[in-house]
Amino acid sequence: MPKIFTSYFESPIGPIKLTTSEDAVLSAEFIDESQTSDSELPAIALNLQKQLNQYFEGNLLEFDLKLDPQGTDFQKRVWQELTNIPFGKNASYMDMAIKLGDPKVIRAAASANGKNPISIIIPCHRVIGKDGSLTGYAGGLHRKKWLLDHENRLANGVLELF
């Protein structure tokens, strides 16, 4: 079984628990309180922290990390589709279902979106309601709003539908 490394990142909107293997990001999840990071971390964990720092500082628009989220094949298809939503733009759950090839999978796509284990890097926060409303976000709606506002400011414009 591969070794798992855990570290914590202090973001402007709360601590994020980061989990990696030797060479890939496994999860990035908002938590209530940080704990102590593992004493030795692989290069991928340090690179993840560096890129998150650059993102929050407004100096990074696209992450370049090897990702290995654990989930069903359908969930992985949804998460892969999320990575196609450009920085500063958004999509509706219906848009996601259509991109997945079947408008009837909207509920399944929304469920998979909510189970995304790698927040921010797999940008599930960019998915909103068809009417433009901010719908659920595992990290809390206040964080989703902050992330969308942050990206909107950096993109220098109004969020557009993808």
* Contact indicator for 162, 127 with CB cutoff of 8 Å: no
Q: Using alpha carbons, select from 4, 32, 39, 2 the residue that is nearest to residue 19.
A: 4
Helices (H), the chain: 43-57, 73-82, 93-99, 106-114, 141-155
Active-site pick, 78, 109, 124, 127: 124
Q: Strands 127-128 and 89-92, how do they pair?
A: parallel
- Asked if 32 is an active-site residue, the reply is no
Q: Among positive and negative, which fits the CA dihedral 61, 5, 118, 81? A: positive
Catalytic machinery residues: 124
